[in-house]
Structure 1
Amino acid sequence: MARMSPVILILGSGPNVGHHVARAFVAKGYRVALASRNIKEEDDNTDQLQISADLSDPHSVKGIFSKVEASIGLPSVVVYNASAGAPNNPEDPLSILLADFSRDLHVNTTSAFVAAQQAALSFKKLPDHMSKTFIYTGNILNETTVASLLDGGVGKSATAHIIRSAAAAYRNKGFKFYYAAERKADGSPAYSEISGEAHGKFYAELTEQKSQGPWQQTFVKDIGYKHFPAS
């Protein structure tokens, strides 16, 4: 019996990283499911499943996975690319409204946790030959503080811990969990200069690796993985 094409689910599928990751995996023969608040489900086509989703509601994540499984199959690769956190007053970072802090924490961490949880459940059902990979799009905020980006840094730090724990716990099962963060060649953060194309290429490479590598995957455009000392 011919093998079915593998499935990638991208949560938070924006026009830069999400778009290029989808393109990279389509080129590898994957069926793609995209979930985002700005997606219109009527734009579904034969190449991509489009799911309208608000990731500030963690309870919605399980339903996304159920819809993907029912429509195109269990995802063997899950990319969590959603991020939230408006800049705050750097001289008064604790002035953030609780409602805003809570919403952003849901997007950056709580929904990411549920996605990782659902990914692990999906991976357990997949055949051994398939790559089982979860990638969280992070940045340098799990290693350093930026006074104007408090709640974003809280979320990235918390989710980095989740990824590190999952990478260690599930590696013997063949599941891979990564916190991926693009850097400049000198190790400084890419921030607004991030390359969607570089993300797509690097994420595809991570997926093709047979076993768990370093849980924190700092990478540089046109170079790939590069270890940097903690900031």
Structure 2
Amino acid sequence: MASTSPVILILGSGPNVGHHVAQAFVAKGYKIALASRSVKEEDKNADLVRISADLSDPHCVKGIFSKVEASLGLPSVVVYNASAGAPNNPEEPLSIPLADFSRDLHVNTTSAFVAAQHAALSFERLPDHRSKTFIYTGNILNETTIASLLDGGVGKSATAHIIRSAAAAYSNKGFKFYYADERKADGTPVYSKISGEAHGKFYVELAEHKSQGPWQQTFVEDVGYKHFPTA
């Protein structure tokens, strides 16, 4: 189904960041597609599609994009907001069971890679005036280690590399790829005190930029982008 309004796909549409990002883009006239394990697919309308999906299975991502295109049109903004990884014993970080490590890596990286692939394929087919922006919700773990968050750090580090590579390779096509990381004003991580509202506002700004900015977008609530020395 063709859409005259732009479309955003949010993968991992939770009640904080996912909710506020959706609301921020609704205010800009976007149609919304939400994908997560907890959504109810029957709760939808002409401007909103909910897709039940388990991102621990990377093979589900292609189907998500197909459903979005059929219902709303090609997404011009894709936000990957899914994250996985329970705290591990900081004194024995290598004690994580392989099954848990593999599952979390799929959520944090492999499905994000597939989403970026399909986002690029969608962007190729969109008119020039569309945003063509992919945003990965990250954190400071691509720069530093936290002993109790080993597999989360592995996933964030690997996906940061994917985003950095894509940002450099596709900028000449007008595609934008970002790794977003909310920080406190002093550059330290916000940890669990994430502002969904700040993410929504900042992600709209990234989508509205005409060209690729720094691939790593560290930002502060009520300030926006702020460069910090590597942790």
Percent of residue pairs identical = 86
Please tell me whether the aligned partners of residues 26 and 32 of structure 2 are also in contact (alpha carbons under 8 angstroms). Answer: yes
Residue-pair matches, total? 229
> CA deviation digits over 1:35-89, x for unaligned, max 9?
0001111111343100000000000000000000000000000000000000000
- 2:47–2:72: 8 Å Cα contact kept in structure 1? no
2:62 is aligned with 1:27: no
Kindly provide the amino acid, as one letter, of the partner of residue 206 in structure 2.
L
Residue 178 of structure 2: aligned partner = 178
CA deviations 1:91-142 (Å, max 9, x no partner) are 0000000000000000000000000000000000000011100000000000
- Residue 212 of structure 2 corresponds to 212
CA apart distance, 1:182: 0.1
Partner of 2:167: 167
Alignment partner, residue 132 of structure 1: 132
- 1:19-98 alignment, distance < 5 Å: 19-98=19-98
Q: Give the root-mean-square deviation of aligned CA atoms.
A: 0.7
CA distance in 1, matches of 2:47, 2:7: 11
- Runs of at least 5 residues in structure 2 that lack an aligned partner in the other structure: none
Report the equivalent of 1:147: 147
Question: What secondary structure, in the 3-state scheme, does the structure 1 residue paired with 2:127 have?
Answer: coil
Question: SS at the partner of 1:192?
Answer: coil
- The residue type paired with residue 168 of structure 1 is A
Quote how far apart the aligned CAs of 1:224 are.
0.2
SS at match of 1:179: strand
- 2:189 — aligned with what? 189
TM-score (norm 1): 0.98
Unaligned runs of 5+ in 1: none
